[in-house]
Amino acid sequence: MYNVLFHVILFAYLLASLLFWLYMGLQQRRIFQLASGLLVGGFALQTFSLGYRLSLQALPWWGEVATSRGLLSWAIIAVYLAAIWRYRIEALGSFIAPLAFLAAASAGIPVTTPVTWPLSVQDIWLSLHIVLALLGYAALTLMFCTGVMYLIQERQLKSKRPGAWYRYLPSLTLLDEVSAKALLLGFPFLTQGIVTGSVWAKYAYGSYLHWSLTSLPLLLAWLIYALLLGGRRALGWQGAKAARATVGGFVVILASYFVHTL
Amino acid sequence: MAITVVGLNHTTAPVAVRERLAFSDTTLAEALAHFRPREVQELVILSTCNRVEMYMQTSNVDASFTSCVAFFASYHAVPPTQFTPHLYQLSDLEAVRHLFRVASSLDSLVLGEPQILGQVKAAYFAAQAASRTGSIFAQLFERALSVAKAIRSETGISDHAVSVSYAAVELAKKIFESLQQRTVMVLGAGDTAELAARHLVQQGVTKVFIANRTSERAERLAQALQAKAIPWEAFPEHLTHTDIVISSTSAPHPIIDSAMVREALWARRSRPMFFIDIAVPRDVEPAVNTLENVFLYDIDDLQNVVQENRRARQREALAAEELVWREVRHFQQWLAGRDAVPTIVALRQRAEAIRLQELTKALHKFGPLDERQRRMLDTLTSGIVNKLLHAPTVYLKRSSDEGQVRDVVHLVRHLFDLDA
pLDDT at B88 over 90: yes
Mean pLDDT across B120-137:
93
- A248-257 residue pLDDT tens: 989 888 877 6
How many contacts (CB atoms, under 8 Å) link A and B? 54
Residue-wise pLDDT tens digits, B283-316: 999 999 999 999 999 989 999 888 888 888 888 8
Task: State yes or no: pLDDT of B349 exceeds 70.
Answer: yes
ipTM: 0.84
- The stretch B187-203 carries a mean pLDDT of 83
Residue B406 reports pLDDT greater than 80: no
pLDDT at position B280? 82
Q: What is the mean pLDDT of residues B337-354?
A: 85
Q: How far is CA B88 from the centre of its chain?
A: 19
| Contact partners, residue A63, CB within 8 Å, separation at least 6 | A117, A121, A122, A127
- Any B CB within 8 A of A239 CB: yes
A203-250 pLDDT, tens digit per residue, is 766 666 555 556 677 788 888 899 999 888 887 788 888 999 999 989
Report the catalytic residues of B. 49
Note whether A244 contacts B: Cβ–Cβ < 8 A.
no
Q: Contact A173/B177, CB-based, under 8 Å? A: yes
Out of B174, B293, B297, closest to residue A160 by CB: B297
More confident residue, A69 or B274: B274
> Mean pLDDT over residues B49-69, rounded?
93
Residue type, B342: P
Q: What number of other Cβ atoms are within 10 A of residue B419's Cβ?
A: 8
Cβ of A27 under 8 Å from any chain B Cβ? yes
Q: Report whether pLDDT(A19) > 90.
A: yes
The predicted pLDDT at position A168 comes to 86
Interchain CB distance below 8 Å, B175 and A240: no
Is residue A231 within 8 angstroms of chain B, CB to CB? no
How many other C-beta atoms are found inside a 10 Å radius of the C-beta of residue B206?
12
Has residue A115 got a pLDDT over 50?
A: no
B289: nearest CB among A158, A161, A241: A158
| pLDDT-derived band at A48, boundaries 50, 70, 90 | confident
Average pLDDT over residues B22-45: 92
pLDDT surpasses 50 at A110? no
pLDDT of residue B30: 92
Residue A59: pLDDT above 60?
Answer: yes
**Which of B79, B80, B21 lies closest to B50, judged by CA?**
B21
**CA pair distance B339, A126, nearest whole angstrom:** 79
Q: For residue A157, list chain B residues with Cβ-Cβ distance below 8 A.
A: 171, 174-175, 295
Higher pLDDT, B409 or B100: B100
Nearest residue to B51 via CA among B2, B119, B130, B142: B119
- Model confidence at A111, pLDDT cuts 50, 70, 90, reads very low
pLDDT at residue number A114: 41
Q: What is the pLDDT of residues B366-404, one digit of tens each?
A: 888 888 988 998 999 999 999 999 988 888 877 766 556
A29 — pLDDT class (breaks 50, 70, 90): confident
Backbone angles phi, psi at B403, to 5 degrees: 85, 10
Q: Do B174 and A171 touch (CB under 8 A)?
A: yes
Q: What is the pLDDT of residue A60?
A: 62
Closest CA to A58 of A105, A2, A14: A2
pLDDT score, position B143:
95
Angle, alpha carbons A156-A159-A165 (nearest 5°):
20
Which phi and psi (to 5°) does residue B388 adopt? -65, -40
What's the pLDDT score for residue A123?
Answer: 65
Nearest chain B residue to A28, by CA:
B154
Interface test with A, best of B270, B284, B288 (most A CBs within 10 A): B270
Q: Are A83 and A89 in contact (CB under 8 A)?
A: yes
pLDDT of residue A13: 93
Which residue blocks in B38-92 are alpha helix, DSSP H? 61-76
- Mean pLDDT, residues B165-187: 90
For chain A, say whether B55 makes contact (Cβ under 8 Å). Answer: no
The whole-angstrom distance between B243's CA and the closest CA on chain A is 12
**Given CB atoms, is B267 within the 8 Å cutoff of chain A?**
no
Q: What is the mean pLDDT of chain B?
A: 89
Domain boundaries, chain A: 2-261
Residue A127 in this model has a pLDDT that exceeds 80: no
Highest mean pLDDT among A218-222, B56-60, B192-196: B56-60
Chain A within 8 Å of B301 (Cβ-Cβ)? yes
CA distance B293 to chain A (A): 6
Say whether pLDDT at B147 is over 90.
yes
Q: Which domains does chain B have, with CATH numbers?
A: 2-154 (3.30.460.30), 164-307 (3.40.50.720), 338-415 (no CATH)
Q: Does B173 touch chain A (CB under 8 A)?
A: yes
Distance from C-alpha of A182 to C-alpha of A83, rounded to nearest angstrom? 9
Cβ-Cβ contacts under 8 Å for A86 (sequence gap 6 or more):
none
**Smallest CA–CA distance from B159 into chain A, residue:** A167
Which residues are within 8 A (CB) of B118 and not within 5 positions of it... i.e. 6 or more apart? none
- Across the interface, whether the CB atoms of B308 and A160 are under 8 A apart is answered no
CB-nearest partner of B175 from A163, A172, A238: A172
**pLDDT tens-digit series, residues B156-171:** 888 888 888 888 888 9
Q: What is the pLDDT of residue A69?
A: 65
Q: How confident is the model at residue B49 (pLDDT cuts 50, 70, 90)?
A: confident
- Going by pLDDT thresholds of 50, 70 and 90, the confidence category of residue B357 is very high
Residues B293, A238: C-beta atoms closer than 8 Å: yes
- Shortest distance, CA A17 to any CA of chain B (angstroms): 23
Give the mean pLDDT of B225-250. 90
Phi-psi sector, A57: left (phi>0), alpha (psi -120 to 50), beta: left
**Per the CB < 8 Å rule, is B171 touching A239?**
no
User: Which residues from A are below 8 Å from B156, CB to CB?
Assistant: 27, 167
The amino acid at B139: Q
Instruction: Please give the pLDDT value at position A64.
Output: 60
A166 lies within 8 A of chain B by CB? yes
